Amino acid sequence: MKYLIKDVNKKEKDRLEKMGLYCYDLRESDMGDEVANIEKNVFINKVGNMITNEKIEFEKSPNDFVNYFDFCMKNEQVDKIEDLLVREKLDIEKILNETKELLKNSEEYKDMEICYVLEDTRDKSNSIIVAMHNDDIIEINPFTKEISDVADWAYNIDDDVFAMIESDKKISYMSMDMHYGIWQTIEQWYPEDLEHKKGMQKYLKYCKDNKITKDVIEKETKLDKLPDAMKYYKKEKVKER
């Protein structure tokens, strides 16, 4: 478990908890010379806060506390909030459920559907979720839950999917409707109008590895006449030899 010592007020505590972090109070010892315990809430002898990336399991006692020294000996202290947000692997099911709940409870974004999740392989806190409804597009940070509007005229598959995959991001989730749109785009734009062909190849490899085929996409979306984009993956493989 990672932890950060930082004084926070109630507003910042609420913000941190919305980011998926946990915030606790620190109690000073009776002697007043050191931190004694970590507790959920301290009203007397509070000396600060501890923020963690995982939930602390408190002892079964009337006061519900964990010894500060013992905790620090077993866990890793970090220097900034961003260090707490770094995950070795995204919990996709949890992230999708949280994001769906976030959108459902928003009057402005309640009609949005999650299209894909791109996981940043170097810094998980830079991962993004993209949701759409008609011409409306938003990006969501899976940890901070911050939402940014994306202009539809500035969005395209080449720059916003293939270029991302070409750099440090990988697909952790993608809806079949999104696959359908991407395969249509590949057919229309490849090869002259696609700049990030390496990213396209990584995308097609993802499809191959996950058994996403023309038939599967058509069956799931209940749409037909989908061009078979996998033919371009095979041609690229021949060129690389």
Q: Which residues make beta-bridge pairs with 113?
A: 132
Best-predicted range by mean pLDDT (43-47, 88-92, 179-183): 179-183
Q: Which tens digit of pLDDT belongs to each residue from 109-158?
A: 999 999 999 998 877 778 999 999 999 999 999 988 899 999 999 999 99
Retrieve residue 31's tokens: 């002697």
- Give the domain ranges of the chain: 2-85, 92-240
Q: Which tens digit of pLDDT belongs to each residue from 30-59?
A: 887 799 999 988 888 999 999 998 888 886
Phi first, then psi, for residue 27 (nearest 5°) are -105, 135
CA dist 40 to 1, 100, 234, Å? Answer: 17, 29, 57
pLDDT of residue 63: 62
pLDDT > 90 in the chain, percent: 71
**Per-residue confidence band for 97, with pLDDT thresholds at 50, 70 and 90:** very high
pTM for the whole thing?
0.68
**Per-residue confidence band for 240, with pLDDT thresholds at 50, 70 and 90:** very low
Q: Which residues make beta-bridge pairs with 139?
A: 130, 148
pLDDT at 27 over 50: yes
What is residue 225's DSSP assignment? Answer: -
